[in-house]
Amino acid sequence: MRVFLLGLAAALSLGAAIPAWSQASYPSKPVKVLVGFTPGSAADIVARIVAQKLGADFGQPFVIENRPGAGSSIAAEAAVRSPPDGYTLLMGSVANTINATLAKDLPFEFDRDLVPIVAVASVPNLLVVNPSVPARSVQELIAIGRANPGDLLFGSSGKGTSPHLSGELFGLMAGLKLVHVPYKGSPQAVADLLAGRVSVMFSPASTVLPHVRAGTLRALASSGAYRSSAAPDLPTIAESGLPGFETSVWLGLLAPAATPHEIVERLNEDTVQALGGADVKAQLVAQGIDPMGGTPQQFAAYIRQETEKWARVVQAAGARLD
């Protein structure tokens, strides 16, 4: 912010024209945050917690608009086609980096047409089953799956999402034939898991922990590299006999390409400050969500790393959208 103010002072001293966006303090009207998943999903939960804080800090509402479908690609395309003025943002996710490889006909390029602002949060997936499934460990689930090939239906929040690819990777590494049943979001998939229409699911901890605590779903393991802070007694899948298995759902803010650098930097600074605040941090951690942060450049590097990682998984698993 200090650098920006110094730059503005220099421009005034030279009689330079002030960019249109800075003639009124940003933001001077509500900011729309597009979320590619349904209300109640991990992306939606994180977006609403952060948006509430940003709205209070900026003095303008940050309004959540859910546009679910196509593994967040519908929301991403809407963001890409929006004016690059800082008033339309995207709560991007790991699904967008998966779709960079999995979806062959996207009308945009995620890493070219959107500019990273800040990595917001990371959520481990939990491997959960309907209580009617007798498995109480990962190894027991694998044994059931191997004895009954094709009988285990696994739900996900949609094709190309982290829960989908987590299931594909699990089946590949465990030598199982799992049948994928995609939904338009985590809440719908969880509803069918609770009803027993599907047997297994990888889901963000924030979505299924209330059901696990209530005993209506059984958690077998966490998909993260480390145990979830919200469920520290739950082993990781790597600990449970599949070394090297690691997936998680990350979420981060992005804006249309060509959004002024000053706006990106200001949004980054304020979001990082919000994530470091005790109130926001407590709300996230209580639901098994880990705050992230960092610079736009660090987020851009992370996106490249995730895109390369998931390209390898898609290729190894032979995952397809059709």
Residue 161: predicted pLDDT: 81
Question: pLDDT band for position 235 (50/70/90)?
Answer: very high
Cβ atoms 203, 157 nearer than 8 A: yes
Coil, strand, or helix at residue 93?
strand
Instruction: Spell out the domain ranges in the chain.
Output: 28-122+248-317, 124-222
Coil, strand, or helix at residue 43?
helix
Mean pLDDT computed over 49-78: 95
Fold matches, 28-122+248-317 and 124-222 = yes
- Counts for the chain of helices (H) and strands (E), in that order: 12, 10
Q: How far apart are CA 242 and CA 262, in angstroms?
A: 45
Cβ atoms 141, 129 nearer than 8 A: yes
Lowest mean pLDDT among 41-50, 106-115, 158-167, 303-312: 158-167
Residue 24 has pLDDT above 60, yes or no: no
Containing 179, the helix (H) or strand (E) segment is strand 179-182
Question: pLDDT band for position 314 (50/70/90)?
Answer: confident
Residue 86 has pLDDT above 90, yes or no: yes
Q: How far apart are CA 219 and CA 200, in angstroms?
A: 10
Instruction: Please say whether the dihedral angle defined by the alpha carbons of residues 247, 248, 249 and 251, taken in this order, is positive or negative.
Output: negative
Q: How far apart are CA 212 and CA 269, in angstroms?
A: 36
Residue 1: predicted pLDDT: 39
Give CATH for domain 28-122+248-317: 3.40.190.150
Cβ atoms 54, 111 nearer than 8 A: no
Q: Domain 124-222 falls in which CATH fold?
A: D-Maltodextrin-Binding Protein; domain 2 (3.40.190)
- Quote the mean pLDDT of the chain: 89
Structure tokens at 55: 């709205």
